Amino acid sequence: MTIGRHENITYAEFEHNLADLNEPVIVGVSLTASWPCTSEWRLANGPNLAALRRYGHHSVQVANCSVRQFNEFERSERKLDEILDIWEREEGQNGRLYVKDWHQALLLEQDGGRQDQIYTTPDIFKDDWMTHHALSLAPPDDYRFTYAGPPGTFTPVHRDVYGSYSWSSNIVGRKRWWLIPPEHTQLFRTRSSKDDLVFDVREVDEALWEDKVLVVEQHAGETIFVPSGWHHQVENMDFCISINQNFASSHIMPTIYHNLLHSLSRVEDAISDVKELLQEQALKNAEPSDAENTEETLSWEKEWFEQVQSLLEMDAGWGLRGFWSMVAYNLRNPPTNASLRPSDEYVFTNIRPLVEDFKQRREYVVLADLARIVDEVASIVGTRP
């Protein structure tokens, strides 16, 4: 298997991938050549860690790659300065500390700076409903991350949240990617569970997957696009610093919606005893004449749905409210100009069935604030003739 490599790619060419192919792509170094970070963070033979000192006060998530915790490495929040001290002492040796999910651009903006002092979002990735919406929240949030770590540090096998995309530009060093096509995910399932995957692809005999998985070496300056639903693992072959955004466009709203509903029913199964308890209590308090949709029945159901939503939010970062608010916000305020996104008709056609599906659900009846957001979406995308 090989990956498509492009020296340059226009949005029109790339959109074919978003809409139809859903394949990994590597874009050549010209995309990142003029970014400030490209000249600032590179030295002849490694990272310019001194150039990161100006961000030393940023709080960052650090994975300790020698301590596994469930499906991730043990994580802590530290000041970047402390980690730079440790890396400088190690002098580029194999280390353990991997700075991940560092919201560098957001923190810089909070200090009065701008993202383009580090990098500019490539045109092909500007139709991003996730960060565009998250930045409008109070306080603002985003899915823009910087990753930095010595050789040997890695990100275990995962799929990005609800099957969203990601792109990653390597500024310093080389990364190795294992990209697993969705139809081959099952090769990496553990024996004990039908849902869990192995932690590290290298646990599975290579003969079983070598002709099915894309193994890609990404060089400094290159950008990789990770398609929706592809599990992946990433290893730093040298000391690497990369710019990364987890993102989603209208093309994958149906996928995200269905993955969200799948996670939602898993949460419901996991806490089904809570549902029974709430139901019993409501029955005790109700008059025998109470019918469906009275105050009593709605209030226990509301309590139930709220509990499910808060667990989803804790687990994945967002639930139904996050999804529908994102859709409404991006329909009202598209993230980029018309030449860098699909036509309104395409977008509306993708969203319409989701509205129709959601209107059949109890949450639409019981959660009034959510119903208002979905009604707004319906008024923009229209209903099917």
Ligand X SMILES: O=C(O)CCC(=O)C(=O)O
Q: Which of 172, 234, 256, 282 forms a contact with ligand X (CB under 6 A)?
A: 234
Nearest distance, CB of residue 168 and ligand X, angstroms: 4
Indicate which of ligand X, Fe ion, none lies near residue 22 (CB less than 5 to 8 Å, by partner kind): none
Residue 210, judged by CB atoms within 10 A of its CB (0-12, 13-18, 19+), counts as: exposed
Tell me which residue has tokens 């509990």: 307
Query: What are the CA-CA distances from residue 361 to residues 275, 335, 353 (Å)?
Result: 17, 29, 13
E-assigned strands of the chain?
4-6, 25-27, 42-43, 46-47, 59-69, 72-79, 97-102, 144-149, 154-158, 165-172, 175-180, 214-218, 223-226, 231-236, 240-247
Indicate which of ligand X, Fe ion, none lies near residue 168 (CB less than 5 to 8 Å, by partner kind): ligand X
Q: Which is nearer to ligand X, 203 or 280 (CB)?
A: 203
Tell me which residue has tokens 């859709």: 327
Q: Which of 179-187, 226-234, 291-299, 306-314 is the region at the interface with ligand X (rule: CB under 6 A)?
A: 226-234
250 belongs to the binding site for ligand X (CB under 6 A): no
235 belongs to the binding site for Fe ion (CB under 5 A): no
Contact between residue 87 and residue 150 where contact means Cβ atoms under 8 Å apart: yes
E-assigned strands of 29-131?
42-43, 46-47, 59-69, 72-79, 97-102
Nearest distance, CB of residue 165 and Fe ion, angstroms: 9
Q: Which of 29-37, 84-92, 165-173, 367-375 is the region at the interface with Fe ion (rule: CB under 5 A)?
A: 165-173
Q: Which is nearer to Fe ion, 119 or 147 (CB)?
A: 147
CA distance 60 to 69: 18
Say how many C-beta atoms besides its own lie within 10 A of residue 287's C-beta. Answer: 7
The size of the interface with ligand X (CB under 6 A), counted in residues, is 10
Nearest distance, CB of residue 244 and ligand X, angstroms: 5
Q: Which is nearer to ligand X, 226 or 264 (CB)?
A: 226
Q: Which is nearer to ligand X, 78 or 176 (CB)?
A: 176
Tokens representing residue 352 in the block:
């319409």
Backbone angles phi, psi at 173, to 5 degrees: 85, 180
131 belongs to the binding site for ligand X (CB under 6 A): no
Nearest distance, CB of residue 229 and ligand X, angstroms: 12
242 belongs to the binding site for ligand X (CB under 6 A): yes
Tokens representing residue 91 in the block:
């002098």
Q: Which is nearer to Fe ion, 128 or 301 (CB)?
A: 128
15 belongs to the binding site for Fe ion (CB under 5 A): no
Q: Which of 2-10, 160-168, 254-262, 294-302 is the region at the interface with ligand X (rule: CB under 6 A)?
A: 160-168
Nearest distance, CB of residue 352 and ligand X, angstroms: 29
Per-position DSSP letters for 328-357, written without gaps between them: HHHHHS-SS-GGGS--HHHHHHHHHHHHHH
Tokens representing residue 139 in the block:
């306080």
CA proximity to 184, closest of 164, 223, 157, 165: 157
CA distance 172 to 41: 7
Give the distance, in angstroms, between the CA of residue 51 and the centroid of all CA atoms in the same chain. 27
15 belongs to the binding site for ligand X (CB under 6 A): no
160 belongs to the binding site for Fe ion (CB under 5 A): yes
x-or-dash pattern for ligand X, window 259-298, by CB under 6 A? ----------------------------------------
Q: Which of 155, 223, 249, 325 forms a contact with ligand X (CB under 6 A)?
A: 155
Q: Which is nearer to ligand X, 100 or 275 (CB)?
A: 100
Nearest distance, CB of residue 36 and Fe ion, angstroms: 25
Residues 6+ apart with CB under 8 A from 98: 62, 63, 65, 73, 147, 148, 149, 150, 153, 154, 155, 236
Q: Which is nearer to ligand X, 216 or 226 (CB)?
A: 226
Residues in contact with Fe ion by the rule CB under 5 A: 160, 166
Residues in contact with ligand X by the rule CB under 6 A: 147, 155, 160, 166, 168, 226, 232, 234, 242, 244
